């Protein structure tokens, strides 16, 4: 039971980090085009504007 809880906690943390990183990439994509090309393969990137 403890192992399952630890696994779920790790998954939740990883998901949170990935989501926040995607948000940061979206924020920076307006000024830096390297972020969009770098994250293009991982998830759909909305065109600016």
The pLDDT assigned to 29 comes to 66
Residue 48 lies in a domain: no
CA 23/CA 36 separation, integer angstroms: 12
Q: Which domain holds residue 26?
A: 2-39
Residue 49 lies in a domain: no
Q: Given pLDDT bands bounded at 50, 70 and 90, which one contains residue 44? A: low
pLDDT in tens, 8-26: 999 999 999 888 888 877 7
Count of domains observed in the chain: 1
Residue 46 lies in a domain: no
pLDDT over 80 (residue 6) = yes
42 Cβ contact partners less than 8 Å away, ≥ 6 residues apart: 22
Residue 11 lies in a domain: yes
- Average pLDDT of the chain? 73
Residue 47 lies in a domain: no
């Amino acid at each position: 039971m403890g192992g399952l809880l630890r696994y779920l906690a790790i998954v939740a943390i990883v998901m949170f980090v990935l989501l926040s990183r995607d948000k940061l990439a979206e924020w920076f994509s307006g000024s830096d085009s390297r972020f969009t090309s770098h994250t293009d393969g991982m998830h759909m990137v909305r065109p600016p504007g």
